[in-house]
Homo-oligomer: A and B are copies of this chain.
């Protein structure tokens, strides 16, 4: 059995769900995959906890925090394993995640992340740091989480050329669009989504299409080995869809979805995000509520779509756990 020390960075909803999931599934993972997962440290802003034998169930809800504990000091105390990065970094500077990931690779740790911030502008650098030390950087948690986007493309479509993909990659805007089809205007649909905890207090990233754009960018940079930036994505969100348009789509048995798309055009790649009308036969048509979905068009395998995946902290935690297990298989 391989013993794997884990350091969890970030203790928000996803971080907590990850810790809980690992503790819940630890024995099962030992049996099925012959992997011994132990969360030896949880790090938050300016404090953390460390426990060499691994944090266990009774204590997980309120670990004994140690002021000033940071990743550097934790990595000195533990054999290398995997850093699970659930911080919320800036999409401009990539910090604090960027510095943490660089430090992790320098010290010989793999990284599994749900934090888009450092990846938006620094994915090629981070990937090359990882490769240089034969380490892995796994980013499913940042590319639609429990919906398998990268896995599908890298494993299931191995050997095929991806000519284009289009995806419903943001659950919040998909929920709002569904409610607009049912007759609400944008402001009311948004208010309802905020009430239900689906939309954030500042919903700009979601409804403005920026979260979708970031995912299209990360998928393209990962799958096509590109170094494109957010400025290469044309972005239109869902804030200005007239109600009659979405009602009309619904009446005609169609629907409006916010699609993120990558398309090869000769030797260039076109990346865009915009609301589009889908016909009933489209594979992404049944993607409702906070669900997500993606469709790949390939040369030799035809069209392949993946739909679903739990869209909450537990789903995101499960995506981190999957990435972690797949490092060692």
Q: List A residues at the B interface (Cβ < 8 Å).
A: 21, 25, 28-29, 33, 146-148, 151-152, 155-161, 280-283, 285-286, 288, 295, 298, 300-311, 314-315, 317-319, 321-322, 324-326, 329
The answer to whether residues A322 and B157 also contact, given A286-B285, A300-B21, A315-B301 and a CB cut-off of 8 A, is: yes
Question: Main secondary structure on chain A at its contact with chain B?
Answer: mixed
Q: Indicate which residue in B33, B159, B281 contacts A286 across the interface (CB closer than 8 Å).
A: B281
Contact between A305 and B302, CB atoms less than 8 A apart: no
The answer to whether residues A301 and B318 also contact, given A159-B325, A329-B158 and a CB cut-off of 8 A, is: yes
Contact between B155 and A151, CB atoms less than 8 A apart: yes
Contact between B302 and A310, CB atoms less than 8 A apart: yes
Across the A-B interface, give the 8 residue pairs with the lowest CB-CB distance, nearest first.
Answer: A302-B310, A148-B156, A300-B318, A146-B301, A158-B325, A159-B321, A151-B156, A304-B308
Q: Which chain B positions have C-beta within 8 A of A288?
A: 281
Contact between A300 and B315, CB atoms less than 8 A apart: yes
Q: Indicate which residue in B29, B160, B286, B329 contacts A283 across the interface (CB closer than 8 Å).
A: B286
Contact between B146 and A304, CB atoms less than 8 A apart: yes
Contact between A322 and B160, CB atoms less than 8 A apart: yes
Most B CB within 10 A of own CB, among A281, A300, A319, A324: A300
